[in-house]
């Protein structure tokens, strides 16, 4: 199996689409032009020659003054998805060529007609490409990554934005180093102000994926979807985010996916409809956000940094340092806080045998809504661990004091009454 390194050496080529008007048309018939999800409807007037109809399409696209008697629902100069391209009469008077203004940027275009005897035919005579395309072989030292290959992306600042659906490809490994400072993927909102209709994530399934090795500033936008392929993801570092989102946005649905995080800024399935599955997470630093569609099926361990959890914790969560927040309404099957602070905002059930020890803090003070249930007594160990529950969210659950732990370490709020009963710990 081959090794290949990203070079981004391909030359940029402008995207060109072609629309040919043919047949016999009748006044009132239409052509619907579509870019992304936005339509412009051109309605044929009394002048029904194919040349006049093609000219009407050009005028509608560019926002030119109407020279014939056709009408249009809108003009492309008012719609940012259209404004990036220019229409012109092509090699015949019945042909319209639509050319992107910027080389290397693809246009998602289609057209349909309602004519009984006329037609529009769309072709794509020049397909855009360039240094930002995944699949151009000129962008790789030894060919585009294929099944079983190992790819390296490093020492570059050229982004990878197009031809991102590589979901059929399962490389052995992928390494995106900290010396790569370009983007991979596209933002949800295009820089020109419209919802992005092109693929936003690089979809590819390496068995091993490592981000942020070595020195450098790193990338501020990496969007990667490993789809249904099993991936062992390790994040050593990332760049500073280019927006309010984490620098690395990842998702993948294989039941045995794993994440090891040393540093950086990572979001897993952070958007509402997204899903991801992780069997294990081992985290020692950085900022990690888990969206509501994340399934945590195994052990999550945290020794540093921050975690925001917005999903169920179907496995166990053990914290020995750092800060964590568990939001939402989901259950937490097993919680052990041996260090750092865990803010428990979820209103689900606290399952298992909860343990708070060392200098760990279980903080229930930031949400007044009671938990749905607590399955067992909470074990408090040592003289420094704390439980903060001023709103009595734990209800009547027992707290067992172990290894010199005292009632003073449990805050049930000022001016409240509670009973402390001597007995053997569970």
> Across 161-257, where does the E strand assignment appear?
173-176, 202-203, 208-211, 222-225, 232-235, 248-251
pTM: 0.94
Q: Regarding predicted confidence, which is higher, 4 or 272?
A: 4
Confidence of residue 147 (pLDDT cuts 50, 70, 90): very high
| pLDDT above 70: residue 423 | no
| pLDDT above 60: residue 420 | no
- The per-residue DSSP string of 92-144 comes to STTEEEEEESSTT----EEEEE--SEEEEEEEEEE--B-TTBSS-GGGBTTSS
| Mean local confidence (pLDDT), 191-205 | 97
Q: How far apart are CA 56 and CA 50, in angstroms?
A: 10
pLDDT of residue 398: 86
pLDDT of residue 425: 66
The strand pair at 323-326 and 306-309 is best described as parallel
| pLDDT above 70: residue 414 | no
| pLDDT above 70: residue 294 | yes
Cross-strand partners of 202: 224
Structure-block tokens of residue 372: 């749905």
| Mean local confidence (pLDDT), 34-57 | 97
Cross-strand partners of 259: 233, 281
Q: Is-contact 290 310, C-beta < 8 A?
A: yes
pLDDT of residue 396: 83
pLDDT of residue 43: 98
Domain residue extents for the chain: 16-126, 145-293, 312-426
pLDDT of residue 156: 98
Q: How high is the mean pLDDT of the chain?
A: 95
| pLDDT above 80: residue 419 | no
Q: Is-contact 284 320, C-beta < 8 A?
A: no
Q: How far apart are CA 400 and CA 412, in angstroms?
A: 15
pLDDT of residue 52: 98
């Amino acid at each position: 199996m081959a090794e290949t390194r990203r070079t981004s050496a391909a030359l940029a080529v402008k995207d060109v689409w072609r629309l040919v008007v043919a047949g016999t048309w009748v006044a009132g018939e239409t052509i619907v032009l579509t870019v992304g999800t936005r339509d412009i409807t051109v309605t044929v007037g009394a002048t029904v020659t194919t040349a006049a109809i093609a000219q009407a399409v050009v005028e509608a696209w560019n926002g030119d003054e109407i020279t014939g008697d056709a009408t249009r629902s809108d003009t492309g100069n008012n719609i940012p998805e259209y404004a990036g391209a220019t229409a012109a009469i092509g090699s015949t008077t019945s042909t319209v060529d639509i050319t992107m203004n910027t080389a290397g940027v693809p246009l998602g275009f289609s057209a349909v007609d309602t004519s009984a005897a006329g037609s529009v035919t769309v072709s794509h005579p020049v397909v855009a490409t360039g240094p930002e395309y995944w699949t151009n072989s000129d962008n790789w030292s030894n060919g585009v990554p294929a099944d079983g290959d190992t790819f390296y992306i490093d020492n570059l600042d050229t982004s990878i934005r197009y031809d991102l659906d590589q979901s059929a490809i399962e490389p052995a490994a992928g390494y995106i180093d900290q010396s790569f400072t370009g983007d991979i993927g596209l933002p949800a909102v295009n820089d020109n102000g419209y919802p992005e209709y092109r693929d936003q994530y690089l979809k590819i399934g390496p068995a091993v994926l490592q981000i942020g090795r070595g020195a450098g500033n790193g990338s501020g936008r990496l969007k990667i979807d490993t789809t249904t392929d099993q991936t062992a993801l390790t994040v050593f570092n990332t760049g500073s985010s280019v927006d309010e989102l984490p620098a690395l946005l990842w998702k993948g649905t294989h039941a045995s996916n794993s994440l090891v995080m040393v540093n950086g800024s990572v979001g897993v399935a952070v958007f509402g409809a997204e899903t991801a599955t992780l069997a294990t997470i081992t985290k020692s630093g950085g900022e990690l956000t888990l969206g509501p569609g994340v399934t945590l099926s195994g052990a999550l361990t945290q020794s540093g940094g921050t975690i925001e959890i917005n999903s169920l914790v179907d496995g166990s969560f053990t914290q020995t340092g750092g800060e964590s927040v568990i939001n939402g309404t989901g259950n937490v099957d097993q919680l052990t806080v041996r260090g750092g602070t865990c803010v428990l905002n979820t209103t689900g059930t606290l399952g298992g045998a909860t343990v708070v020890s060392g200098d760990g803090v279980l903080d229930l003070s930031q949400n007044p809504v009671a938990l749905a249930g607590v399955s067992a007594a909470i074990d408090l160990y040592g003289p420094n661990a704390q439980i903060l529950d001023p709103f009595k969210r734990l209800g009547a659950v027992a707290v067992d004091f172990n290894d010199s732990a005292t009632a003073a370490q449990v805050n049930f709020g000022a001016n409240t009454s509670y009973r402390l009963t001597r007995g053997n710990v569970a």
